[in-house]
Structure 1
């Protein structure tokens, strides 16, 4: 989320919280595609991390982008921490370790998404290259230790940094040393949301396997294909992971609200100041238990929107659905991830097929798959066949959906071409992570440094 919300409307009842989510319902002709992608900035000289301050730091990068784009700065405690397009059509934000994120505009086709990503990277290069900065497209920081990783001056991250070690062993790695590509997709009704949530939760481990791209930690192979996927297994399991109640045949908005109410909060914002609320659930807050800590004592709809943005399940429900399973990767992956999910979820025939394929997959089976994927990726066995075989079937459904959408660019090509990078993974039978580890042991000569050339934007 690029900017924390300040909506001071009071909350009268939990029905309003359910209504907030239901207000995301959109007719099919209003469905859009919002793509987010993160990348690690580094100095070309020495492949070193980029700090926030200084003439060649991330602040300078943001200032340069502000001048170039004319976007409005997002300020936190006097520091520029992001930019937002004046009409709300996209934003640039910083993750805790300086990971640079584009939160794309809601667009109609993958062609538009790809053009947006290409334009962003071209604009960014124009500002970054004179500063000696480039960007790395991997799912996990391959070289720098946690201690070497910079910290961005963002108030919510200070609260999270204190809290994470209390609720898991890998939360700080998640914050400071991972990158993702994510797509945000719409639904037309509660029933449509349910179908999309259930299909995408079941297939999220497959996305992690197909996009596995984080095999190095602290300059060495880590024995995993998706280190990022492994990190999410023990970050903060109260607010993360696979949600069993979503598998229920009558799952709806109220069930998600009921779960979210009992997850500890991170913060509320009052008069521009972030107040640590990690000791309290949102249900406690609504019951008036913060009267001695928060100036007005009671929650607002802005507090609720911010709370929803601090929940981290594999598929996150806000007024749209966020697909959160994929590692960050090279620029072709920025287009492939939304293409994969749009093909599965935005066409009726494809969604029917994906739902039929996954209909009887149980929570326990999907959880076991999710736990195996960080290490085994496409060789993970699911119901006596490999995920590589499942991937072929799912990609065929996604291709069907994109073909049926028939959204063509000026040259007459539809959106199926954006699946080609995933077709290559399946044809090879090896993930990007495996290819990198093979290179490390052969042509890279046991060095991590060539990754900064081959996987740079």
Structure 2
């Protein structure tokens, strides 16, 4: 999820539907201005007894945020509580149960991205060591029930927590018990956006498989390799899924705007307060008929807020978000943007990736997406075989794309080395969750809490 920087200023009032479509066009950038924005979440726990700290307790989440101001981060408040931080490395924010997220700055290359992640982890570990807090790189809490988890003092989350059980059985798990890695990428035109969206959506199951890292629920194997991915299948069908229309002729900004208009609302932000609009229609808002704010028209800020409440596998704002990966350790934080930058930021790689997936039917794409949470690389692919059969080829395409970019560090290395953690997974044939399950059945002797020693940052 993204975090709203809380202010009392609002963009211009929307007076015409064309403004919604133009909001996507404003994201267009020439190739030399394409950037990489990496987001990664981690679980926070007490090193004393492994509990998830609350916001207010001594040494809890508020103290963690406050401690980070020593590194130059500036506090962002809501309702008198510090709920986020801003700085040159982007924004630090809180997920509903205190999952700690860095939404990184837009950077030119993966060397910068990896350095940014390293700085962030060094800082949170320095503050965490003082407070007795540790940080866990997984896709889902391995041992915590919903009732074990605290709630953060953020108004939008209170609205979502009330609404989620009305539309699905696993939405609260999504909010409270999961972590992800995500990368945000640019496009040059509507056609470029559409092609990147299609490739990203079709190959998102491969990213889910390679990063599958959530095999435990409440101390036991849950039958999945990425339970985090499975959770999205029963969160809210009106705002999740593979978006078949993306693969239809004519897909572009207008069609995505129509989709977003049909996503039910969660809230409207006004004067420091989140107003509950859960289940209401943004189309009604455009006509001044929103029952939560009768007679009022939306602003572009409202539209941007609303776009952040759709949760498909790939999401469009003024950039494209790749959203399929479980949270994981430091090396995989760098590997996810390497995969997608390699595939999407070089024309030859983008064409090669599209050639791999363009003939898949929508039914085949849906079947692959639905199989991956349980089977990961063993999921069947269109035309026969398993996902593992094309994983190496996709990584080769990504490596060629990264090599063509020729972004070198001070040692003269290009960006292809950041794919190495994924190469290891393909070589061994085991995704991260399978490695954890082997340890659970072997040296851990069924004690899932050993995972804290294995996966902490």
Q: TM-score scaled to structure 1, two decimals?
A: 0.97
Question: What does residue 3 of structure 1 align with?
Answer: 4
Distance in 2 (alpha carbons) for counterparts of 1:240 and 1:69:
37
The reply to whether residue 360 of structure 1 matches residue 359 of structure 2 is yes
Distance in 1 (alpha carbons) for counterparts of 2:362 and 2:78:
40
Q: How big is each residue's C-alpha offset from its partner over 1:102-129, in whole Å with a ceiling of 9 and x where there is no partner? A: 0000001110000000000001111111
Question: What does residue 189 of structure 1 align with?
Answer: 189
Please report how far the alpha carbon of residue 293 of structure 1 lies from its aligned counterpart in structure 2 after TM superposition: 3.0
Moved more, 406-415 or 26-35: 406-415
Distance in 2 (alpha carbons) for counterparts of 1:301 and 1:4:
15
Poorly superposed stretches of 4+, deviation over 4 Å: none
Secondary structure (helix, strand or coil) at the match of 1:101 reads strand
Secondary structure (helix, strand or coil) at the match of 2:3 reads coil
Distance in 1 (alpha carbons) for counterparts of 2:35 and 2:440:
40
Please report how far the alpha carbon of residue 295 of structure 1 lies from its aligned counterpart in structure 2 after TM superposition: 7.2
Kindly tell me the number of residue pairs found equivalent between the two proteins. Answer: 453
Please report how far the alpha carbon of residue 284 of structure 1 lies from its aligned counterpart in structure 2 after TM superposition: 1.2
Secondary structure (helix, strand or coil) at the match of 1:265 reads coil
Question: What does residue 122 of structure 2 align with?
Answer: 122
Question: What does residue 387 of structure 1 align with?
Answer: 387
Question: What does residue 139 of structure 1 align with?
Answer: 139
Please report how far the alpha carbon of residue 148 of structure 1 lies from its aligned counterpart in structure 2 after TM superposition: 0.3
Please report how far the alpha carbon of residue 72 of structure 1 lies from its aligned counterpart in structure 2 after TM superposition: 2.2
Q: 1:44 aligns with which of 47, 57, 61?
A: 47
Distance in 1 (alpha carbons) for counterparts of 2:99 and 2:90:
17
Q: How big is each residue's C-alpha offset from its partner over 1:248-285, in whole Å with a ceiling of 9 and x where there is no partner? A: 13200000001111111111111111100113111011
The reply to whether residue 55 of structure 1 matches residue 54 of structure 2 is no
Question: What does residue 432 of structure 1 align with?
Answer: 432
Secondary structure (helix, strand or coil) at the match of 1:425 reads helix
8 Å contact 1:270–1:295 — kept in the other structure?
no
Q: How big is each residue's C-alpha offset from its partner over 1:359-410, in whole Å with a ceiling of 9 and x where there is no partner? A: 1112211110010000000001112111001111111100110111111111
Question: What does residue 72 of structure 2 align with?
Answer: 70
Please report how far the alpha carbon of residue 296 of structure 1 lies from its aligned counterpart in structure 2 after TM superposition: 6.1
8 Å contact 1:4–1:306 — kept in the other structure?
no
Secondary structure (helix, strand or coil) at the match of 2:76 reads strand
Secondary structure (helix, strand or coil) at the match of 2:449 reads coil
8 Å contact 1:3–1:74 — kept in the other structure?
no
The 5 Å alignment of 1:90-129 reads: 90-129=90-129
Q: CA RMSD in A?
A: 1.1
The reply to whether residue 204 of structure 1 matches residue 204 of structure 2 is yes
Question: What does residue 17 of structure 1 align with?
Answer: 20
Q: Which stretches in structure 1 are left out of the alignment for 5+ residues?
A: none
Q: TM-score scaled to structure 2, two decimals?
A: 0.97
Question: What does residue 169 of structure 2 align with?
Answer: 169
Q: How big is each residue's C-alpha offset from its partner over 1:117-146, in whole Å with a ceiling of 9 and x where there is no partner? A: 000000111111111101000001101100
Distance in 2 (alpha carbons) for counterparts of 1:227 and 1:7:
38
Distance in 1 (alpha carbons) for counterparts of 2:66 and 2:175:
23
Distance in 2 (alpha carbons) for counterparts of 1:127 and 1:71:
13
